[in-house]
């Protein structure tokens, strides 16, 4: 079964797999009128019990809801009858794969053993929070080497070139100190329509880079974990810029998310951040020179008059 061409190619591929491998086999042979809230809830519960991730089961729910919405639009479902998906519930949110990012030292180790071109791709992803499709789809016409910004207005995913997946995804991002690297890296004869990261003029396949370079490097260094890859670098940017003072809204704009709650899902609340916040609070409450003793408690505090 094919999925609407209005979706991003990566989303079409994912939803197509969900439909063909899970939804259609389960509901095969049933009419829309045979599929009610109870049967959909049983399906969602069964998939959760199979050990599928919360977000995957959430995708199933969204696809089913979309089927009934479109059926109503096209006259196959009575619009006066509520969408049976609306009253279904998902279980407690959980992740099938570990949600973590590399420590700064681990990232430096990884970067050090990657080839120069892959280094720059990874550092660009971590510096900007670009999706891998946006890294691969970056063209020189979108790189402003004078101001030091990149304009995200195109993406490439496994042979498919398109505009970014949502309106907020079209955004401008600072390169920071990488602007000097990009100036050095840009070929003298580069044309505006040339891809920044390419092999023989063609953009890379994200899977090949992971398989050939990034994952073997992480395994060799001993800090590979299930799910480690391009999403980890994006999560690292969204987390770290907030540790360095960016607000959650800043991080949302940086990531190109439509909703702030999605940015929160990408944010890892690290021990380092909480420790730093606690110490800052304590320094404000307990001025320098304050000490504690069993007899006097905290001493050296100057009381406001």
Residue pLDDT, tens place only, 201-223: 889 999 999 999 999 999 999 99
Same domain, 254 and 158: yes
Q: Is residue 40, in this structure, part of any structural domain at all?
A: yes
Same domain, 92 and 110: no
What integer is the mean pLDDT of 105-128?
96
Same domain, 51 and 127: no
What integer is the mean pLDDT of 175-196?
96
What pLDDT, on a 0 to 100 scale, did the predictor assign at position 178? 96
What pLDDT, on a 0 to 100 scale, did the predictor assign at position 305? 44
pTM confidence score: 0.71
Q: Is residue 136, in this structure, part of any structural domain at all?
A: yes
Same domain, 141 and 187: yes
CATH of the domain at 67: 1.10.150.130
Q: Is residue 11, in this structure, part of any structural domain at all?
A: yes
Same domain, 111 and 241: yes
Same domain, 21 and 117: no
pLDDT reading at 10 higher than 80: no
Q: 58 lies in which domain range? A: 1-96
Same domain, 164 and 244: yes
What pLDDT, on a 0 to 100 scale, did the predictor assign at position 100? 85
What pLDDT, on a 0 to 100 scale, did the predictor assign at position 95? 63
Q: Is residue 243, in this structure, part of any structural domain at all?
A: yes
Same domain, 38 and 135: no
Q: Is residue 73, in this structure, part of any structural domain at all?
A: yes
Question: What total number of domains does the chain contain?
Answer: 3
Q: Is residue 271, in this structure, part of any structural domain at all?
A: no
Q: Is residue 129, in this structure, part of any structural domain at all?
A: yes
Same domain, 163 and 248: yes
pLDDT tens profile 253-281: 999 999 998 898 888 877 777 888 888 88
CATH of the domain at 262: 1.10.443.10
Q: Which of 33-37, 115-119, 157-161 has the lowest mean pLDDT?
A: 157-161
Separation CA 95–CA 132 (nearest Å): 21
């Amino acid at each position: 079964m094919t999925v609407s061409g209005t979706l991003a190619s990566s989303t079409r591929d994912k939803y197509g797999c969900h439909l063909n491998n899970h939804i259609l086999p389960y509901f095969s042979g049933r009419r829309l009128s045979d599929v009610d809230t109870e049967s959909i809830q049983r399906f969602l519960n069964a998939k959760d019990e199979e050990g599928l991730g919360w977000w995957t089961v959430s995708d199933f729910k969204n696809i089913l809801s979309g089927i009934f919405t479109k059926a109503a639009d096209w006259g196959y479902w009575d619009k006066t009858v509520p969408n049976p998906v609306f009253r279904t519930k998902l279980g407690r949110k959980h992740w099938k794969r570990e949600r973590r990012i590399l420590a700064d030292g681990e990232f430096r180790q990884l970067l050090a053993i990657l080839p120069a071109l892959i280094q720059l791709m990874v550092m660009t992803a971590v510096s900007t929070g670009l999706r891998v499709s946006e890294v691969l789809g970056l063209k020189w016409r979108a790189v402003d080497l004078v101001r030091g910004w990149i304009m995200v207005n195109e993406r490439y995913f496994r042979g498919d070139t398109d505009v970014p997946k949502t309106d907020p995804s079209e955004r401008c991002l600072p390169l920071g100190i990488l602007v000097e690297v990009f100036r050095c890296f840009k070929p003298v004869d580069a044309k505006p329509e040339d891809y920044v990261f390419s092999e023989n003029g063609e953009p890379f396949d994200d899977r090949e880079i992971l398989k050939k370079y990034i994952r073997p490097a992480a395994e060799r260094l001993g800090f590979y974990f299930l799910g480690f890859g391009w999403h980890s670098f994006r999560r690292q940017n969204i987390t770290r810029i907030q540790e360095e003072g960016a607000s959650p809204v800043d991080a949302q704009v940086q990531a190109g998310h439509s909703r702030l709650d999605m940015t929160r899902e990408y944010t890892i609340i690290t021990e380092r951040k909480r420790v730093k916040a606690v110490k800052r609070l304590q320094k404000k409450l307990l001025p320098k020179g304050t000490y504690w003793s069993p007899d006097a408690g905290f001493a050296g505090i100057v009381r406001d008059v």
